[in-house]
Chain A
Amino acid sequence: MKKSKLLALVLAAATILSTSGCGFTGSTGSTAASKTAQTADAGTKSNDTITVYDTNEIRTMVQWAASDTNSFTIMNNVSEGFYRLNASHEPEPALAKDCKISDDKLTYTFTLRDGLKWSNGTALTAKDFAFSWLKQMSADATNNYGFIMTDYIVNGAEYQAGKAKAEDVGVKAVDDKTLEVKLKQPTPYFVRLTTLPMFFPLNEEFVKSKGDKYGLDAGSMIYCGPYVLTAYDPASGSTLKKNDSYWDAANVKVPNVKVRIIKEQSTALNAYKAGELSRVILSSSDVPAMKSNPEFSSTNEFRTTYLQYNLTDKTLSNKNIRMALGYAIDRKTLAEAILADGSAPATGLIPNYMYGNGKQTFREINGEIDSFNASKAKEYWEKGVKELGGTPTISLLTEDDSVTKTVATYLQSEFKKNLGIDVKIDSKTKKARNQLMDDNKFQMAITAWGADYDDAMTYMDLWTNGTPYRGSYKSGTYNGLIADAKKQTDDEKRLQDMLTAEKTLVADDAVVSPLYYRGSAYLTKSNVKNLVTHPFGAPIEFKYASLS
């Protein structure tokens, strides 16, 4: 009968598929899939592997193309810069033995450690840094991170625009061990920048020999970090193995690391409970039940979510209205009851724990400049409405992910309760939201910014160019303060500029209303120690971890 023939055909197709084309990720070739699964099982449960996960694909391993945290995380563990963040998030000499800074704070001389080697045995030299930094500053770089060098390095911007030659750029390999960097202006955080993946070295010879294929799989890369990649698949994750030729290999305690891709939070939790993960990030609904668990912990990120007002909008150009909206939001309830995932209520634009003057954090010095006050909110609102000559309608633009929508719903209810207004929520895909903001077609929007580096400048710089995305904020006072901070050689004065600028932006001009600083609540298996999570850049650090 025809049907049975058809069935046979389908079955045959199924067999072929299941034996050949499905690419089960555990398997490194055509070995029996079930066997690999067993070893993978044994791997996570035994004492030599840490398994973590990311919620998004690892987009690329090509340094000058990467711009997402997931890619950064892998890169930071298989490669290294002059400096690396230690367990308390402070930069520590890594590939560099030390760094000398000239008296005018404009020349940095990095000296490499002795006997550094790439994972393929080639010697690692200062030329590898010069090559990679120039690559990042060239038009080849597609990660849009060129500014992180061209803003500081002499002739960087000109080189990027094709107006200067490579020799004129302020990056020079004096000899195999020494790299001399010339800066345009004093930059107290420049050493911190060298911990970022954009500043990692690349071996010119190797990169060129691979051509277009460089970085597409684990075999077409060489490594200089604590780990090497043994398998890399953007969609299902990667596996890492300790790098024996790493200079500090003696202090790397965990031999194997696995990074999976899990997009569903509940899947991650189930996998954690089944022993397939060493750590899981909890959603807010899980936190109450897990808080007393000894495996529970939480961390902060340098990422501020804020409400951006459009100053060219008829309604929101009124400062009283903006002040009213800002005062109407109870940020403590938002962070602690609604998000409840380790996030902290915002008291200013610059997140908690960000570098201040070494003794105190920026936030501690500048205090609370952004707060909840229902009666003031009402007062400002009435004043604003009087000036406008009628109650305005306001809509709130948001991205369509579930956390942002939750925040939007909360804001909507707060505005209703404290100001008595119905704010319309307009949720769009991320691209659509950004497009609307770039086109100046919004009233206010929920936006977030994660720090690129540990200095308030990573935030403050954003509002200097007056683009619609930043609410078309054009203020001479503010721009003057930032410009002065950039030139300032006196750290104390520089800090003072920044503190004033933050107050101007948030409290005086009410251009943005910071809402919360993102945090994460975790469960970590009790045998995993010191699995460090940095608040910015490449979050997860395997180097310091150990298993007991």
Chain B
Amino acid sequence: MTKTEIPQELFVKAEVDKEAREHIARPNLTAFQDGWLRLKKNKAAVCSLFILIIVILLALFGPVFAKHTFFDTDYSQIYKSPSAAYPFGTDQFGRDQWARIWQGTRISLLIAFTAAFIDLFIGVTFGAVSALFGGKVDAVMQRIIEVLVGVPQLIIVILLMMVMPAGIWTIVLALSITGWVNMARLVRAQILKLKSQEFVLAARVLGTSNREIILKHLIPNTVGVIVINAMFDIPSAIFTEAFLSFIGIGLAEPNASLGVLINNGYHVLQNFPYLLIFPALVIILIMVCFSILGDGLRDALDPRMRQ
């Protein structure tokens, strides 16, 4: 090997631009924009989003296209099978099931979303705080959960019903009393697991505040579990609402929700199966789309999936 000498003159002092050194090649995006970009690439998720938008539009405007309102009774048209005049048939009172299903979807989605949002908000905060602080705080917060779950909910609901007017907000309140408990426990468990991992330790050493640790490090890492549990919250809110409507809290006739329609349809399943099938299909469609979308969201929001 021969040694080659590099002459001194060839070395030139680099002109370093402060700006350029800090330059990040990747466009600077907020977590949301970033997520959206990645979500767009997921065809199934986009498709689900599209279907969901159609369902929501139908829920909003479906009754408008119907020839009948959701509360018009016609006793000469009782239990009619689906036909051109009544695309989804009619019920016991000769009411147009098409109009009722979209009206029901509207109410169910509203209730489910509100309830899921409250669950998300209270549950995630409660769980995160409980796990992160640990010790006495955790012990007390967990006991609070135990007390809330231990006191029979039906008693609370009946008492609520005596003092509050029937309506959507009473239902949401009833659903929210203990609805968030599972979410809180899941988030707590996940954070207990993450808390002792190195990256949290590193953040702590760097002097990051608790708030920052929860928001920037722990919650993004639990997003998978959160999204999935929120997914389960939606049907459970819809069916709990149906149960509540049955015991008198909540919607009064002639209003209906998907849960109530399914409950009613179930009672006539053997003779008029379409009264169960159509609302059930709507709920399944909504759930399938949410599920795929939720999965897409998880992939899009999870920081570790960032490439």
- A-to-B contact residues, CB < 8 Å: 265-266, 269, 283-286, 288-289, 333, 337-338, 400, 402, 405-406, 408-410, 412-413, 417, 424-429, 432
Q: Check if B267 sits within 8 Å of A285, measured CB to CB.
A: yes
| Chain B: CB-nearest residue to A265 | B267
Q: What's the least CB distance linking A266 to chain B, in Å?
A: 7
Q: Check if B270 sits within 8 Å of A286, measured CB to CB.
A: yes
Interface residues of B in 150-206 (CB under 8 A from A): 158, 161-162, 166
Given contacts A333-B75, A432-B248, contact A285 B253 (CB under 8 A): no
B271 cross-chain contacts in A, Cβ below 8 A:
285-286, 288-289
Q: Check if A400 sits within 8 Å of B247, measured CB to CB.
A: yes
Interface membership of B92, Cβ < 8 A: yes
Interface membership of B291, Cβ < 8 A: no
Instruction: Give Cα A400 to B248, complex, Å.
Output: 6
A284 cross-chain contacts in B, Cβ below 8 A:
92
Instruction: Give Cα A426 to B253, complex, Å.
Output: 9
Interface membership of B113, Cβ < 8 A: no
Q: What's the least CB distance linking A291 to chain B, in Å?
A: 12
Q: Check if B252 sits within 8 Å of A285, measured CB to CB.
A: no
Q: Check if A428 sits within 8 Å of B161, measured CB to CB.
A: yes
Given contacts A428-B161, A432-B161, contact A409 B268 (CB under 8 A): no
Interface residues of B in 257-290 (CB under 8 A from A): 267-272
- The one of A265, A413, A425 in contact with B252, judged by C-beta atoms closer than 8 angstroms, is A425
19 interchain pairs (CB within 8 A)?
Answer: A265-B267, A283-B268, A286-B270, A288-B79, A333-B75, A402-B267, A408-B253, A409-B253, A410-B93, A413-B73, A424-B252, A425-B252, A426-B166, A427-B166, A427-B252, A428-B161, A429-B158, A429-B161, A429-B248
- The one of B71, B161, B270 in contact with A269, judged by C-beta atoms closer than 8 angstroms, is B270
Instruction: Give Cα A269 to B92, complex, Å.
Output: 20
Instruction: Give Cα A285 to B273, complex, Å.
Output: 11
| Chain A: CB-nearest residue to B73 | A413
| Chain A: CB-nearest residue to B264 | A402
Q: Check if A425 sits within 8 Å of B253, measured CB to CB.
A: yes
A337 cross-chain contacts in B, Cβ below 8 A:
75, 78
Interface membership of B254, Cβ < 8 A: yes
A428 cross-chain contacts in B, Cβ below 8 A:
161, 248
A266 cross-chain contacts in B, Cβ below 8 A:
267, 269-270
B73 cross-chain contacts in A, Cβ below 8 A:
410, 413, 417
Total cross-chain contacts (CB, 8 A) = 64
Given contacts A265-B267, A400-B248, contact A285 B75 (CB under 8 A): no
Instruction: Give Cα A381 to B246, complex, Å.
Output: 32
Q: What's the least CB distance linking B95 to chain A, in Å?
A: 9
Question: What per-residue 1/0 map shows which CB atoms of B36-61 lie under 8 Å from chain A?
Answer: 00000000000000000000000000
B92 cross-chain contacts in A, Cβ below 8 A:
284-285, 338, 406
Given contacts A432-B161, A432-B162, contact A426 B252 (CB under 8 A): yes
Instruction: Give Cα A432 to B75, complex, Å.
Output: 32
A402 cross-chain contacts in B, Cβ below 8 A:
246, 267
Instruction: Give Cα A410 to B95, complex, Å.
Output: 11
A265 cross-chain contacts in B, Cβ below 8 A:
267
Instruction: Give Cα A338 to B79, complex, Å.
Output: 10
Q: Check if A409 sits within 8 Å of B247, measured CB to CB.
A: no
| Chain A: CB-nearest residue to B252 | A425
A427 cross-chain contacts in B, Cβ below 8 A:
166, 248, 252
| Chain B: CB-nearest residue to A417 | B73
Instruction: Give Cα A286 to B246, complex, Å.
Output: 22
Instruction: Give Cα A432 to B249, complex, Å.
Output: 11
Instruction: Give Cα A417 to B71, complex, Å.
Output: 11
B161 cross-chain contacts in A, Cβ below 8 A:
428-429, 432
B71 cross-chain contacts in A, Cβ below 8 A:
413
| Chain B: CB-nearest residue to A400 | B248
Instruction: Give Cα A429 to B252, complex, Å.
Output: 13
Instruction: Give Cα A288 to B268, complex, Å.
Output: 12
Q: What's the least CB distance linking B107 to chain A, in Å?
A: 16
Q: Check if B253 sits within 8 Å of A405, measured CB to CB.
A: yes
Given contacts A338-B93, A400-B248, A429-B158, contact A412 B267 (CB under 8 A): no
B93 cross-chain contacts in A, Cβ below 8 A:
338, 409-410, 413
Q: Check if B166 sits within 8 Å of A432, measured CB to CB.
A: no
Q: What's the least CB distance linking B85 to chain A, in Å?
A: 19
Q: Check if A412 sits within 8 Å of B254, measured CB to CB.
A: yes
Q: What's the least CB distance linking B252 to chain A, in Å?
A: 4
| Chain A: CB-nearest residue to B165 | A426
Question: What per-residue 1/0 map shows which CB atoms of B84-103 lie under 8 Å from chain A?
Answer: 00000000110000000000
Instruction: Give Cα A407 to B45, complex, Å.
Output: 45
| Chain A: CB-nearest residue to B166 | A426
Instruction: Give Cα A64 to B223, complex, Å.
Output: 61
Instruction: Give Cα A286 to B75, complex, Å.
Output: 17
Instruction: Give Cα A425 to B252, complex, Å.
Output: 6
Instruction: Give Cα A338 to B158, complex, Å.
Output: 29
B78 cross-chain contacts in A, Cβ below 8 A:
337-338
Instruction: Give Cα A483 to B120, complex, Å.
Output: 65
Q: Check if B247 sits within 8 Å of A429, measured CB to CB.
A: yes
Q: What's the least CB distance linking A270 to chain B, in Å?
A: 8
A413 cross-chain contacts in B, Cβ below 8 A:
71, 73, 93, 254
Instruction: Give Cα A284 to B270, complex, Å.
Output: 12
Instruction: Give Cα A284 to B268, complex, Å.
Output: 9
- The one of B162, B166, B272 in contact with A285, judged by C-beta atoms closer than 8 angstroms, is B272
Instruction: Give Cα A425 to B253, complex, Å.
Output: 7
Q: What's the least CB distance linking A252 to chain B, in Å?
A: 36
A412 cross-chain contacts in B, Cβ below 8 A:
253-254
Q: Check if A283 sits within 8 Å of B267, measured CB to CB.
A: yes
Q: What's the least CB distance linking A185 to chain B, in Å?
A: 42
B268 cross-chain contacts in A, Cβ below 8 A:
283, 285
| Chain A: CB-nearest residue to B266 | A266
Instruction: Give Cα A76 to B18, complex, Å.
Output: 99
- Closest CB pairs A-B (n = 7): A400-B248, A413-B73, A285-B268, A409-B253, A427-B248, A425-B252, A428-B248
Instruction: Give Cα A417 to B75, complex, Å.
Output: 12
| Chain B: CB-nearest residue to A410 | B93
Q: What's the least CB distance linking B98 to chain A, in Å?
A: 18
Q: What's the least CB distance linking A521 to chain B, in Å?
A: 13
Q: Check if A400 sits within 8 Å of B270, measured CB to CB.
A: no
Q: What's the least CB distance linking A374 to chain B, in Å?
A: 14
B158 cross-chain contacts in A, Cβ below 8 A:
429, 432
Given A400-B247, A413-B73, 20 more A-B residue pairs with CB atoms under 8 Å apart are A266-B267, A269-B270, A283-B268, A285-B79, A285-B268, A338-B93, A400-B248, A409-B93, A410-B93, A412-B253, A412-B254, A413-B93, A417-B73, A424-B252, A425-B252, A426-B166, A427-B248, A429-B247, A429-B248, A432-B162
| Chain A: CB-nearest residue to B247 | A400
Given contacts A337-B78, A400-B248, contact A409 B254 (CB under 8 A): yes
B79 cross-chain contacts in A, Cβ below 8 A:
285, 288
Question: What per-residue 1/0 map shows which CB atoms of B128-164 lie under 8 Å from chain A?
Answer: 0000000000000000000000000000001001100
| Chain B: CB-nearest residue to A283 | B267
Q: What's the least CB distance linking A35 to chain B, in Å?
A: 32
A286 cross-chain contacts in B, Cβ below 8 A:
270-271
A406 cross-chain contacts in B, Cβ below 8 A:
92
Q: What's the least CB distance linking A470 to chain B, in Å?
A: 22
A408 cross-chain contacts in B, Cβ below 8 A:
253
| Chain B: CB-nearest residue to A435 | B162
